[in-house]
């Protein structure tokens, strides 16, 4: 009886694990994207701001922001894609609005461009 119960338990585990497969995601946005801005406030002072997005295939990612080499923000983000428009939301940062971007190919490579025309990030 114990052997039968063990056998049925193993069969149940195998069947349950086969039902929970995540579909493969080959979206072209998957990868590392970054942006570097240098703000020259005066002749002797400049501020460097680097932002980085790491998109993964589970519709999640990691956002980093550095100011003069010091980390300012580090959080996870969620992303969705609908008809070529990507929406990036940042639940870990209270005051950060969602980014709505499209991917564009240029002679310099792939860029994420905001709906207002500004470049959000360049593929690394």
Task: Give residue 100's pLDDT.
Answer: 96
Q: Answer left, alpha or beta for residue 117, where phi above 0 means left and psi between -120 and 50 means alpha.
A: left
Enclosing domain of residue 53? 24-123
Count helices and strands (H / E) in the chain: 1, 8
**Does residue 92 sit within a domain?**
yes
Regions of the chain with pLDDT less than 50: none
Q: Does residue 11 form part of some domain?
A: no
Confirm whether 16 is domain-assigned. no
- In a domain, residue 12? The reply is no
The pLDDT tens digits of the residues spanning 95-119 come to: 889 999 999 998 888 999 998 889 9
Q: What is the CATH number of the domain that holds 35?
A: 2.40.128
Task: Give pLDDT, residue 15.
Answer: 65
Q: What's the confidence (pLDDT) of residue 119?
A: 93
Number of domains present in the structure of the chain? 1
Tokens of 50: 């680097």
**Is 15 among the domain residues?**
no
**pLDDT value for 92:** 83
């Amino acid at each position: 009886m114990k052997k039968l119960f063990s056998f049925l338990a193993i069969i149940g585990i195998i069947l349950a694990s086969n039902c929970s497969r995540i579909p493969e995601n080959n979206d072209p946005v998957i990868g590392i994207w970054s942006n570097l801005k240098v703000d020259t406030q005066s002749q002797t002072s400049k501020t460097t701001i680097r932002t980085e997005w790491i998109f993964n295939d589970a519709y999640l990612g990691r956002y980093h922001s550095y100011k003069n080499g010091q980390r300012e923000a580090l959080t996870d983000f969620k992303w969705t894609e609908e008809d070529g428009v990507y929406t990036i939301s940042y639940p870990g940062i209270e005051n950060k609005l969602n980014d709505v971007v499209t991917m564009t190919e240029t002679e310099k490579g792939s860029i994420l461009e905001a709906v207002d025309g500004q470049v959000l990030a360049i593929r690394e």
